[in-house]
Structure 1
Amino acid sequence: MATSSLKAQTQLEKNKYAVLSKNIQQLPAILQTATALENEDGELFGEFQVIFCGKTLQNIPQNQDFAALLKTAKKQGVKIFACGISLTKFNLSKKDVPPGLPITENGILHAFQLQKQGFLTLTI
């Protein structure tokens, strides 16, 4: 019996989450959600990613509140990305992005790739 119990434990997959958002003002609620899921999942909590796309990226240059939230997200282990296509569309460059905010070339593709990896995804 101990063998089957150990086998079941090793097969448990961690819960992974991703949010595709078009509004950086949702970040505080997203971070609260990540914390709640981590507490709820316990040892089964795996990873939490956020991808920001669209016009909202125009609001990130010199946005001190967003920069502070990025630091909070990093402490929580939440990975946040900016969509490269959106940056290009709104004439923003890498220097307009706060330090520590990685750029994914295509945010929508990134979200689909996460789904293929078993992430539960939400678009808001």
Structure 2
Amino acid sequence: MKTILLSTFVLALTVFTTAGVSAQEGEKHNYVVLTKKVPQLQPILITAEKLKEEDGENFGAFEVIICGQEIGDITDPAKIDAFIEKAEALGVRLIACGFSLNKFKVDRNAVPEKMEIVENGILYNFQLQKKGYHSLGL
């Protein structure tokens, strides 16, 4: 009797543990990175590429928010165009912080069309975290 009870308990534990793992594996993994320097896009995009490979079908959204004093670098084609191209190929969204654009007097019309602008990059980052995004600030 003890053996049957123990076996049933172990079987039930195995089934529920496996069901929990399967549910987690089916979920999309979403990522957001907040960065202050355009050159940091190089390792960020390499990371996105590797995570996309690792996650496979579970790879969800990957967003990069650029803010801070060097936000003006996104208006320089020599500094940003290759990153925009790579991000687009990976399905990564590049986002400019509107607050930073205003503070450092960067013309919004000079922001590349393929980049989005949010009014407050830090707030947007927190909003994504509340939706379950994995977040990193650089």
Give the TM-score, by structure 2 length: 0.80
Give the match's secondary structure for 2:122.
helix
| Cα distance in structure 2, aligned partners of 1:77 and 1:11 | 21
Structure 2 gaps of 5+ residues are 1-14
Q: Which residue of 2 aligns with 1:122?
A: 136
Q: Matched residue pairs, number?
A: 120
More helix by share: 2
Question: Percentage identity across aligned positions?
Answer: 43
Q: Which residue of 2 aligns with 1:96?
A: 110
Q: Which residue of 2 aligns with 1:18?
A: 32
* Structure 1 residues 1-124: aligned runs within 5 Å: 8=22, 12-124=26-138
Structure 1 gaps of 5+ residues are none
Computing the radius of gyration from Cα coordinates, the structure with the larger value is: 2
CA RMSD of aligned residues (A): 1.9
C-alpha distance after superposition, 1:31-85 (max 9, x if no partner): 0000001111111111100000101212222332312210210111001100000
Moved more, 24-33 or 93-102: 93-102
Instruction: Determine which structure has greater relative contact order: mean sequence separation of CA pairs < 8 Å that are 6+ residues apart, divided by chain length.
Output: 1
Give the TM-score, by structure 1 length: 0.88
| Cα distance in structure 2, aligned partners of 1:19 and 1:10 | 22
- Which portions of structure 1, spanning 4 or more consecutive aligned residues, are displaced by more than 3 angstroms? 8-11
